[in-house]
Amino acid sequence: MNPESCIAREVFGSALVIRIVNPKRKNALNVDIYEDLMASLEFADKDDGIKSVILTGSDQFFCSGHDLDDFINNPIENERHPVFQFMLTLSQFGKPVIAAVEGFAVGIGSTMLLHCDLVYAGRSSFFQMPFTSLGLCPEFAATFVIPQTAGHRIASELLILGRRFSAERFREAGFINEITEDGGACKLALERASEIEKMSSISVVTTKKLIKEKLNSDTQASMREELLCLIELLGAADFESRLNNINKE
């Protein structure tokens, strides 16, 4: 992994903790980080001693979304872009993925959670998908997974209006398993990982496959459909105008 990587990883028991560490950009993601995230998942997949993966950020923020400068410097043109490859890998990953969220998860920071198996969050955390305010559309099967989980009206509130949801509201909508006191999300995630460690690996992986396999084809189809729409909108004058206004602020 790149020595200057914004990803730190550490093994606790049988859990690989993958931590986003990009404080200057509030854990915004770029092509290098996507590649390191994907490499970390591939590392976990190949190591039989790793039974689960924990995705987390800092105590102040989980992820502020896709770095807007990266949209310009490394435009998404097709499925080979690292962001698509990472999200495809995450959605298809065979071992349990646990998210531990503190602070905020914005844009792709929230979208990632839709493909995790267990999600724990600090009480003060919040979640937002402000795609339409940027002149863009949702990404990576959000328009499929969110209505499937929470229904059409909650999906419209999150994805059309781009409303900010508190941890409690996000939990009520079905996207969080438990809320902890602030600072406790990763500890709880590690506790759940220790439970998984005691279970049969093949049983856990088989059960996850059975849970997800009926939805996988629809999820991947939605990811590809959204990608085509996103690429079109990224090239539109409306997005460029909104991005310029943001950069002036």
Q: What is the pLDDT of residue 104?
A: 98
What angle, 0 to 180 degrees and rounded to 10, lies between the N-to-C axes of helices 82-92 and 201-234?
150
Q: What is the pLDDT of residue 241?
A: 81
Whether the CB-CB separation of 193 and 12 falls below 8 Å is answered with: yes
Q: What is the pLDDT of residue 2?
A: 63
Q: What is the pLDDT of residue 243?
A: 73
What is Dmax (Cα atoms) for the chain? 54
Q: What is the pLDDT of residue 173?
A: 98
Q: What is the pLDDT of residue 242?
A: 78
Q: What is the mean pLDDT of each run of 10 residues along the chain (249 residues)?
A: 83 98 96 97 97 97 94 91 97 98 98 98 98 95 97 98 98 98 98 98 98 92 96 85 70
Beta strand 97-101 pairing with 15-20: unpaired
Neighbours of 184 (CB within 10 A): 18
Residue identified by tokens 């509030």 is: 26
Q: What backbone phi and psi angles, to 5 degrees, belong to 39?
A: -65, -35
The distance from CA 162 to its chain's CA centroid, rounded to whole angstroms, is 17
Q: Looking at the domain that runs over 7-183, which CATH code has it been given? A: 3.90.226.10
Q: What is the pLDDT of residue 206?
A: 98
The structural domains of the chain, with segments of one domain joined by +, span 7-183
Beta strand 97-101 pairing with 118-122: parallel
CA distances from 17 to 50, 53, 204 (A): 10, 6, 18
Is residue 146 exposed (0-12), middle (13-18) or buried (19+ Cβ within 10 Å)? buried
Q: What is the pLDDT of residue 5?
A: 86
The Cα 118–Cα 96 span in angstroms is 8
The Cα 246–Cα 241 span in angstroms is 9
The conformational region for residue 80 under phi > 0 = left, psi -120 to 50 = alpha, else beta, is alpha
Residue identified by tokens 């859990």 is: 15
Q: What is the pLDDT of residue 239?
A: 81
